[in-house]
Amino acid sequence: MGGPNSINEVELFLQNMFADKNILTMDRYTRKLVSTIIITKRLEDVKENYGLLGGKSPLLGLTEDLIAKLAP
């Protein structure tokens, strides 16, 4: 699933995550409503948390480090 590569990508990341029918298991109209409510209430806190992690998800950097260590 990944994560946002910058603070500016957090909202889009959350929209994409909550659009997944396996994350919010409900019909698409209800999923859209619920995801909008969650994102509206949580966006600033989530951005703040990613700020504490350096402004982005650490997943990409960790994956790149792992690839470099596994490369011959």
**2-49 per-position pLDDT tens digit:** 899 999 999 999 999 999 999 999 999 999 999 999 999 999 999 999
What residues make up the domain containing 54?
Answer: 7-70
Relative orientation angle of helices 10-18 and 28-52, to the nearest 10 degrees: 140
What is the structure's pLDDT at 2?
86
Q: Is 18 contained in some domain?
A: yes
For the record, the structure tokens of 2 come out as 């990944």
Pick from 26, 46, 50: which is nearest to 38 by CA?
A: 46
Give tens-digit pLDDT for 49-71. Answer: 999 999 999 999 999 999 999 99
What is the structure's pLDDT at 52?
97
Q: Is 64 contained in some domain?
A: yes
The total domain count for the chain is 1
Q: For residues 20 and 69, is the Cβ–Cβ distance under 8 A? A: no
What is the structure's pLDDT at 72?
85
Q: Is 44 contained in some domain?
A: yes
